[in-house]
Structure 1
Amino acid sequence: MIRTCIILAILCLYQTYSSFGQDCPSKQELQGALRQVHKLLSAHEASYLQSIRSLRKKLNLLQSTAVRQSTKPVNGTCPKLEVPSNGRKLGRVLAVGHEVHFLCEPGYELVGSESRVCQESLSWSGQQPSCKSIDECASNPCLNGGTCVDEVNRFLCTCTKGWAGATCQTPVPTFFTVVSNASTIATTSPPFFSSIAPSSLPSSPFMHPSRCTQLMGSTRCTCEAGFTISGRDSNICIDIDECELFHMGQAGRLCVHNCVNTPGGYRCTCPSGYNLTRDSRNCKDIDECETRQHNCTRDQLCVNTYGGFQCVRVECPRIRNATYVKTSPVRCERNPCPVDNKACSQAPNSVSFHYLSVVSNLSAPRVLFRMSAARVLGDTLRFGLLGGRGRRYFTVQRSGRQTGQLLLVSPVQGPATLEAEVEMSELERRATLGRYITKVTLFVSPYSF
């Protein structure tokens, strides 16, 4: 084809010179004409190659489109999933790549997959979940021979004779009488018999002579409040140890922490970091951070705990190819990433820090923290537990379409410090749009009140 073009170009030049009656061109004129023909052919060749490449691209696009259409299922949705009995289902979209989440009502635990994804084969991942009733009596909570009755989200104990309380932990006190010279004295403490004479009574604030009166030929001896008759001749009053006698009564302990017996009475004390409440029985935590009774530096954050405080230093994460700036005392935001920095775009968008204080042996399961998205950019929102110290005590589950919650799954004996990292991810067609990390630190008090 190129040879034909050259011949035609030369003929055109020859005809041009002939039409004007000119002689054959000179050698220089012929070389100039050939250069023009070469340029013309080069332009045609480039245009031809560009057309070939464009045609090849269109053919490849048509071929890939035909392959996708041939493999694309006719019905692009997964079958509808059933709602488990005593549970809920979150998510209505049944298209490929979408998730459906399951929750159980209080008193029931989930057995099976918490989340299921619609796969390209139009089948659901995981197993169909069910909600199983939690056996509240499995841990044998009833003490001293009590019988446990399982109910929804709670249990009841039927106690044997002589025991009372929610778990049959409290002995029922018995009453008795002391008879002296035909007089009857009622008391709530076991009798103490003694032959000590008043003259030999030791000097002690916990023991003193009784007050006796003669009435119609009989002797009646009494003691002041907080003391009881002791001795066969009813002439001695001995202090009642209320702390021991009422250690576990029907109304509970006299003191929530420590009881100190005093002559004729008692007093309650609290551990360091607590004050007595107005009823003089319970203990109230002192907020050292609020009252400025701490020694934290300016670059540290004071966190009040039960019975004390913690000084923590919040530092933004150091991740390669990504930088962070602190936007609040407990939050770090990632700086904008360069356009071509893929590693930076995969780093967490933000990292938040939360500090919680709980008492020892806190009942579980219990919701500790909730994490939610104000708005969802993608088509999927996922929550997960990344790790942390004491991870076995935690789990993450959904409480709504845009909310996840961190749960304490078993009681913790204090003192202890536990950590958990909760991740919330936004996805669009399985591609990550953003990641948000919340680091939760749990300070467990050594006391259970």
Structure 2
Amino acid sequence: MPRLAFFGDLLDFTADPGFAAPGLAPGVRHRPEHWLLVEDGRIVAVQAEAPGPDWQPVRHPGRLLTPGFIDTHVHAPQLDVIASHGLALLDWLETYTFPAERRYADPAVAAEGAVRFLDALLAHGTTAAVVFPTVHAVSVDTLMAEAAARGMRLIAGKVLMDTHAPDGLRDDVEQAERDCRALIRRWHGHGRLAYAVTVRFAATSSRAQLAMAGRLCAEEPTLYMQTHVAENTEEVRWVGELFPEARSYLDIYHRHGLLHPRAVLAHGIWLDAEDRALLADTGAQIAHSPSSNLFLGSGLFDWAGATEAGYRVSMASDVGGGTSLSMLRTMGDAYKIQALRGTRLSAWKALHTATLGGAEALGLAGEIGHFSPGCLADLAVWDWACGPVAAHRDAIACARPTGPQHSPQAALHERLFAWMTLGDERNLVETWVAGVRRHGGSAAAGLGG
């Protein structure tokens, strides 16, 4: 593997910028016209001076280099149903999602879907993801094998559903446990792969299956757990009827040992103060899925309230409820939701959550999410603007004067916010995973002297 030297405008984070004003945010690390040195797939240095001739340059002058995005909740088979017309969550599952997932019992369909999904992630600048396959073990095997072939950091597991699900998507507790244990032995800790005990949501698992999932988590603390919680008011009402002994929807998972620092729960819109305290106490995170929440009309996530309560929030596309794998579009939708709640989300906070913040929430900050020596070289190269409107806006942002009322950080934020709001996968030039280019071509790379 060659020693690579990436040149461009490097942007990453050393800490959470919080909800500070754009010109006063801590933790922002902007190093324009710097070199990122990569050896054996890992970052070894960042420097202003050009490296020696024993480094192969990858030149991107005037372009933005960020860590690869981290999508903490996305459904691999649901590319089949992305942009399906407007039903609320439960009807949407029955009408679109479950029929699509049933097809993944076919190994050929599962294999084809895994290739399409992972290549699509890379084509949107996402290099790590927490993924729902389907209830079928073959869907996990094909997804993990393809991720391993690309060197990607992937967290996934067989979906558990033994009740309130259609034929072809139900398992039973004993077979599901056998499947999970076999998949854990095969994939957990294999390269950059990790297994997640994957409960679809409380309504589709019996108490016995939830208890089995909790046992798996207790036996192997390095396993992740992923599920959905409190996404939609009708869903919350139904789950409450199914589990009257539980204090809340979230409490169902807690009673079965599923809340812990490696638990990733999507949505978390309709939580009360006790639920929020429980998330903080257990270390579990909410995978905020703004595009999906808007598309399905599920509700407006209270990010400021989550921060006040002290629990972690990561960023998720939730395709196919979400309408794009682009984390830029996802971050733009997060801004809109917070604006409706009276909070102005900065581009700093959004980008941090999709990079270093996501890595920290998953316990992976030693590996991904920032440009520090020792991290794997998962990175994306971006054009600041794509198209005449965005180019015009970017030029105006670049021309803003600096001064007491417009600090350099605020000026950079104005440019970054326009990129986040107007950009998408068309802005992406290349995606690299562990120092290997996985999307984009050598013509765009500027390889050589």
With the length of structure 1 as denominator, give the TM-score of the two structures. 0.21
Q: Which has the higher strand share?
A: 1
Larger radius of gyration between Structure 1 and Structure 2: 1
Q: What's the TM-score once normalised by structure 2's chain length? A: 0.21
The answer to which structure, 1 or 2, has the higher relative contact order (CA under 8 A, 6+ apart) is 2
Please identify which structure carries the higher helix content: 2
